[in-house]
Amino acid sequence: MPAPVVAPSLLAANHGEFIAGLHAIEEAGLTWVHLDIMDGHFVPNISFGPQVVADLRPRSKLHFDVHLMLTHPDRFVAAFAKAGAERLTVHIEAAHDMGQTLAAIKAAGLKAGIAMNPDGDPRRLLPYLASVDLVLCMTVFPGFGGQAFIPSVLDSIRFLATERRARGLDYRLEVDGGVNAETGLLCRAAGADTLVAGTAFFKAPDRKAFVAGLTA
């Protein structure tokens, strides 16, 4: 099994020093950054928008893995594509036509991801699995970093890993929220190959050791 991708979430970095946060990710030898976009409506928090992403874009070669926690993500596909996102992930729970939004993301030349909250039924994702490059199983209820991992989501991860094999698909299986040195390995064993870690990465005394523990 290939080593998983570890994608630190900039939400857990100092928001007045995003460039330093990106450098910390690069210095840890990683290639992805997870950018959590929150509208204060779909989730009870506001983070940052397309302008921040656009201003960070020329400052980093990291893969911009953008997670749209927006009620109307379809309205922002063009703005984040223009800002330099390489990948946009949208929630099944949001108020939009998922098929149309995924098509718009791909028409903009970006990788398309579908996300589900921890209480979601993974069978709701089945109609879209052949159309996405990534499936995100939230392991916390979205809105804030530093929350406790919800272990029941491991069943959804296993289900989606089984479906991936059974259907001969190759979407990435991403997890996000409460992922640390221990829970990340549980997710990996369940079939996840893309691990978002915000708090655990930025608070790690030795970030390279933290990454090594998840990817060995």
Query: Strands, E, within the chain: which ranges?
Result: 5-8, 32-38, 63-69, 87-91, 111-116, 134-138, 172-176, 194-197
Report if residue 176 touches Zn ion, rule: CB under 5 A: yes
Report if residue 36 touches ligand DX5, rule: CB under 6 A: yes
Residue with CB nearest Zn ion? 67
Q: How far apart are CA 30 and CA 62, in angstroms?
A: 8
CB of 107 to ligand DX5, least distance (A): 25
DSSP of 105-150, one letter per residue? HHHTT-EEEEEE-TT--GGGGGGGGGG-SEEEEESS-TT-SSPPP-
CB of 147 to ligand DX5, least distance (A): 6
Footprint of ligand DX5 on 104-123 (CB under 6 A):
none
Among the listed ranges 123-131, 142-150, 151-159, 186-194, the one in contact with ligand DX5 (CB under 6 A) is 142-150
According to DSSP, the residues that pair with 87 across neighbouring strands are 65, 111
Report if residue 34 touches ligand DX5, rule: CB under 6 A: yes
Distance of CA 108 to the CA centre of its chain: 19
What lies within 8 Å, CB to CB, of 182 at 6+ separation is: none
* C-beta of residue 141 within 8 angstroms of C-beta of residue 167: no
| 53 to 20, 35, 64, 67, 193: CA distances (angstroms) | 14, 8, 9, 12, 25
CB of 168 to Zn ion, least distance (A): 28
Report if residue 36 touches Zn ion, rule: CB under 5 A: yes
> Quick one: which of 49, 133, 122 has its CA closest to 92?
122
- Decide if 155 is catalytic: no
- Binding residue (CB under 6 A) for ligand DX5 from 39, 74, 176, 193: 176
- Decide if 55 is catalytic: no
Report if residue 11 touches ligand DX5, rule: CB under 6 A: yes
- Binding residue (CB under 6 A) for ligand DX5 from 6, 9, 171, 210: 9
Amino acid symbol at 26 = E
Among the listed ranges 60-68, 70-78, 149-157, 183-191, the one in contact with Zn ion (CB under 5 A) is 60-68
* C-beta of residue 116 within 8 angstroms of C-beta of residue 99: no
Footprint of ligand DX5 on 39-98 (CB under 6 A):
67
- Binding residue (CB under 6 A) for ligand DX5 from 83, 150, 197, 204: 197
Residues binding ligand DX5 (CB under 6 A): 9, 11-12, 34, 36, 67, 140, 142-143, 145-147, 176-179, 196-200
Supply the residues annotated as catalytic: 36, 176
